[in-house]
Amino acid sequence: MALVEDGRRVLANLVHSQERAHAPYGGVVPELAARAHLEKLPGLVREALDRQGLRGGDVDLVAVTLGPGLVGCLLVGVGLAQGLAAAWDRPVAGVNHLWGHVYAALLTQPDLEPPLLALVVSGAHSDLVRMPAHHRFEVIGRTRDDAAGEAVDKAARTLGLGYPGGPALDRQARRGDPRRQALPVPSLPGLEYSFSGLKTALLYRVRDLGGLDALDEATRSDLAAAFERSVVESLLEKLDRALDRWPAPEVVVCGGVAANTLLRRRAEEVVGGRARLTIPPPSLCTDNAAMIAAAASGAPREADLRADPSLDW
């Protein structure tokens, strides 16, 4: 739940983390997630307004995610947004979650404007997109199988690092050496990604080392570092290629996986002097509401507020 001014200035950005509720199950349980939205959102609306000393009537526009995402959560959000808009007599804007990730970069860099090239890496997406103008996106590359975040989460599970996997793998990898247990860097022709082979390579490596229980802490760290390196190098190899083919003055790396320490560092090196690189701070890379407000600002209004779990760009 967030309050954003003029689509650019974050006044409040509240995240109720559900990690603890889902951790015992090793992944997100859709019904629990929807129920938590229902339970927590109204209080967060109150809290965001109170902290700023604002009232509902001060809000000009209510923005809400239409998808992609879990249908139960989307429906709770749309229902609440419609209720608030009716109570405050204001319009509602439906937003594509993926657009939100890119707009997080505009909250980060005040003078950032399209045209830009973006690498969007989250739990379900590894997409290279061109943004020629506001609210216009063109996909030029995507994954053939697993998304980067999904691969990272599965690898964390294979290594017994728990849930949520991304941050755990990031921490573990910092203690390891990526060369000692090197894994292949997946590479398909063109701008397509594939991470399922890498996931299997890790599984086999752990098996060849005698299974998870036989791994010492140093080896687990080396495996985490090797896996992280392969994902990051693959992501950046295609970004590098995309930038060669479609030079752009601005490059954005965003989505939950862009919180990753190695990806953030290596992206700087790969983009180099060819473009200005913007990576939102980690709190704006992982899912948040401020990015949804940013994407809604100035966007053409959809007449229809249909939640769509499989919404694409």
261-284 residues labelled b (16+ CB within 10 A) or e (exposed): ebbbebbeebbeeebebbbbeeeb
Q: Candidates 137, 286, 292, 299: give the one binding ligand KG4 (CB under 6 A).
A: 286
What's the angle, vertex CA 107, arms to CA 101 and CA 109, rounded to 5? 110
CB of 123 to ligand KG4, least distance (A): 3
CB of 34 to ligand KG4, least distance (A): 16
CB of 254 to ligand KG4, least distance (A): 8
- Toward ligand KG4, which CB reaches closer, 222 or 287? 287
Task: Give Cα separations from 190 to 144, 233, 272 (angstroms).
Answer: 12, 15, 21
Q: In whole angstroms, what is the distance from residue 155 CA to residue 273 CA? A: 33
Does position 166 interact with ligand KG4 (CB under 6 A)? The reply is yes
- Toward ligand KG4, which CB reaches closer, 7 or 165? 165
Contacting positions for Zn ion (CB under 5 A): 122, 287
- Toward Zn ion, which CB reaches closer, 127 or 287? 287
Q: In whole angstroms, what is the distance from residue 160 CA to residue 147 CA? A: 20
Tokens matching residue 66: 């239409």
Does position 280 interact with ligand KG4 (CB under 6 A)? The reply is no
Q: Candidates 84, 257, 270, 311: give the one binding ligand KG4 (CB under 6 A).
A: 257
Does position 149 interact with ligand KG4 (CB under 6 A)? The reply is yes
- Toward ligand KG4, which CB reaches closer, 78 or 84? 78
Helices (H) and strands (E) counted in the chain, each on its own, are: 11, 9
CB of 235 to ligand KG4, least distance (A): 11
Q: In whole angstroms, what is the distance from residue 310 CA to residue 307 CA? A: 9
CB of 120 to Zn ion, least distance (A): 9
Q: In whole angstroms, what is the distance from residue 291 CA to residue 229 CA? A: 28
Does position 153 interact with ligand KG4 (CB under 6 A)? The reply is yes
Q: In whole angstroms, what is the distance from residue 143 CA to residue 188 CA? A: 10
- Toward ligand KG4, which CB reaches closer, 122 or 143? 122
